Chain A
Amino acid sequence: MPLRRRCEIHLLLRMKSLTSLCLAVVAMAAGCLLAGCSKSETAAGNAPAKPRVALVMKSLANEFFGTMTAGAKAHQAAHAADYELIANGIKNETDLSEQVALVDQMVAMQVSAIVIAPADSKALVPALKRARQAGIVVINIDNRLDAAAMQEAGLQVPFVGPDNRAGALAVGRVVTARLQKGDAVAIIEGIPTADNGRQRRLGFEEAIKEAGLNLVSVQSGQWEMEKANTVAGSLLNAHPNLKAIFCANDNMALGAVAAIKAAGREGQVLVAGFDNIKAMGPLLASGAVLATADQHGDQLAVFGIEAALEALRLQQTGSDRSTPVDVVAR
């Protein structure tokens, strides 16, 4: 079997080269890691008194949180003398355990403050309680922690963030102003367990009630374009006289717009969004989306960081602050 033997040798050689490639990659990765570590160590060594602020985000894959983090990094670069920033995020919006682990890691690193966008308004409470007990300043941004859960845990964390309900109400009014009393409308909400999603739904509902519209359905699009597209497609079929769809974020509004187009009902069904992501530009210009809310995503984490620095300076826990939300319409 000379042929088979040769094949085997060939395979072996191949495996060897693959293995060495793997080794090289691992070595390079390790090198980068080490370089990164030593750099931050020297930075800490130069200015020992500089507070270290940990930013714990939700999914960095989500454009909105990416923008928030970028804003925070820009702010830190401009105030490099004032504080050090450690930005972290989780890979999946619903991966709670990963975020809890991140908080615990930050506690172990003995950071001065944690600014967190909780993936869940209740599940993060125990981890943040541990952080407070370790003497770390905690500031809550983006998604508000549950008041009852905090009270039960004896935890006090100030919330620095936009009034989602007021924002949704304002966006909702832009749409309802174009409708008649009794018109059928629907809401596509986010993940029902997240407080910001609930607040936006409440804001939309308030606008709908004010205008005397007929809310025919509220369904979850799980914050995602594809899910919202499916839900919107079915809503359009189930309610031939549907006049507007209020979406709790812009990704879902994109999905709804695609469904309206597929149903050939462009111009007949109004869409509202929330967040003002970049992809909204052309849709707002064409009128496919009537209005969205800009909560100044790039500044949201910065507001939280500033509150944390102030709390550190004054040695207090800090207090709630609401940040601006603007309606963006054509």
Chain B
Amino acid sequence: MNTLRRSADFLFLALLLGVLIAFFSGMSDHFWSMQTVNTVANRIPPLALAAMGMTFVLIAGGIDLSIGSVAALAGAVFGWLVVDRGVSVPVATLAALGAGALCGSANGALVNWMRMPSFIVTLGLLEGARGLAYLATDSQTKYLGERLGALQATVPGLGLSVAFLLAVAGVLVAHFVITRMVFGRHVIAVGTNEEAARLVGLSPGKVRMTVFVLSGLVAAAAGLCQVSRLGAADPNAGAGLELSAIAAAVIGGTSLMGGRGSMLATFVGVLIIATLEAGLAHLGASEPVKRVVTGAVIVCAVAAEAARSRWMARWLNRSGN
């Protein structure tokens, strides 16, 4: 019955995505094309990665508001090292990812040791990491050109970028970890009931730490994807990324209370947001309209999903399952 319920959740989301695609295809001449698919696919890796990290944190019962700033910081560190310090690209990449992991461990450490709510801790880093990004770039956009172009190379015949394939691979691995691995169960256990998890011998602190480091790390990877796509490191990059990631996770049915969430559903949430963005730009919608529509779709998606699962639960009960 659980499988039935989960696949129904997933089908519903896919249906919603289908409706959006059909709508935009009907409204704009050129929306229904391979080119649109490629454009959307190649611009989502940062959001897909960030949303994946966010889903981990949410399932563990926390929240990570710092990911947008951490993404910018990673890009800034990369740009600074490569442009101003003449460091080689592989080393700079490692340093950028390291900066992300460091931010994540700072979040985890403060949440664990100081017993502070993750909302507050990561809010602090949202400011702090952004400031560091400005310091690293001297508040200037660093032009990088092709130096991280490898991520944007497209697979011949498919038109999909390496970054996209990496992001999809990351999502699949994360899905496997959550559904099939012991660590995934631990994350769910800690998010569902921390005290119970402690009583059965788990270490919630360790689980939380791992989850935050992971979130910082993928946020840094998201920042690097963005740098590679834009060919420049912008210290303002990734502003609001955390909110889009939360929106994607929530559309995908992840609970903000912890303990429940699916990586695949989050990914569909990302696709829904990206499709909406691309479609509205296709139609040439004005900025205010774009915002109103995007907000409405997020709320409606979650509301419809909640109504559907209530209805389905009742139906299952009545049929005696």
Q: Which residues of A are at the interface with B, using a C-beta cutoff of 8 A?
A: 11, 14-15, 18, 60-63, 66, 192, 217-220, 222, 224-226, 229-231, 233-240, 251, 254-255, 257-259, 261-263, 277-279, 281-283
Contact = CB atoms under 8 A, between A and B. Distances in A.
A251 B139 CA distance: 13
Contacts, number: 116
20 contacts: A61-B139, A61-B235, A61-B236, A63-B141, A66-B138, A66-B139, A225-B232, A226-B230, A226-B237, A234-B279, A237-B39, A239-B30, A240-B30, A254-B232, A257-B231, A262-B42, A277-B141, A279-B143, A279-B232, A282-B145
B43 A230 contact: yes
Given A18-B114, A237-B30, A237-B33, A226 B226 contact: yes
Given A234-B279, A234-B281, A238-B29, 15 more contacts: A15-B113, A15-B114, A62-B139, A224-B236, A225-B232, A230-B43, A233-B281, A235-B281, A237-B33, A254-B143, A258-B230, A279-B141, A279-B142, A282-B143, A283-B143
B37 to A, nearest CB: 10
Contacts of A237: 30-31, 33, 35-36, 39, 278, 282
Q: Which of A11, A235, A261 has the most CB of B within 10 A?
A: A261
B230 A230 contact: no
B289 to A, nearest CB: 11
Contacts of A277: 140-141
A222 B239 CA distance: 12
Interface in B258-284: 277-279, 281-282, 284
A175 B42 CA distance: 29
Interface string B138-175: 11111101000000100000000000000000000000
B194 interface: no
Contacts of B7: none
A255 to B, nearest CB: 6
Contacts of A63: 139-141
B281 A18 contact: no
Contacts of B141: 63, 225, 251, 254, 277-279
Nearest to A254: B232
A261 B281 CA distance: 18
A144 to B, nearest CB: 21
Interface string B54-76: 00000000000000000000000
B208 interface: no
B140 A262 contact: no
Given A15-B113, A237-B39, A192 B287 contact: yes
A14 B139 contact: no
Nearest to A89: B139
A217 B143 contact: no
B186 interface: no
A61 B134 CA distance: 6
Nearest to B231: A258
A220 B291 CA distance: 12
Closest 3 CB pairs of A and B: A234-B281, A279-B143, A63-B140
B242 interface: no
Contact of B282 (A18, A60, A234, A259): A234
Given A224-B236, A254-B230, A230 B35 contact: no
A225 B143 contact: no
A261 B230 CA distance: 10
Contacts of A279: 140-143, 232
Nearest to B39: A233
B186 to A, nearest CB: 20
A326 to B, nearest CB: 21
A235 B30 CA distance: 10
A219 B284 contact: yes
B232 A278 contact: no
Contacts of B239: 224
A239 B282 CA distance: 9
Given A220-B287, A279-B141, A238 B282 contact: yes
Nearest to B277: A230
A225 B237 contact: yes
A232 to B, nearest CB: 9
Interface string B37-60: 001001100000000000000000
A222 B235 contact: no
B139 A60 contact: yes
Contacts of A62: 139, 236
A237 B284 CA distance: 12
Nearest to A258: B230
B88 interface: no
A259 B229 CA distance: 8
A271 to B, nearest CB: 13
B43 A233 contact: yes
A277 B143 CA distance: 10
Contacts of A217: 284
A238 B31 contact: yes
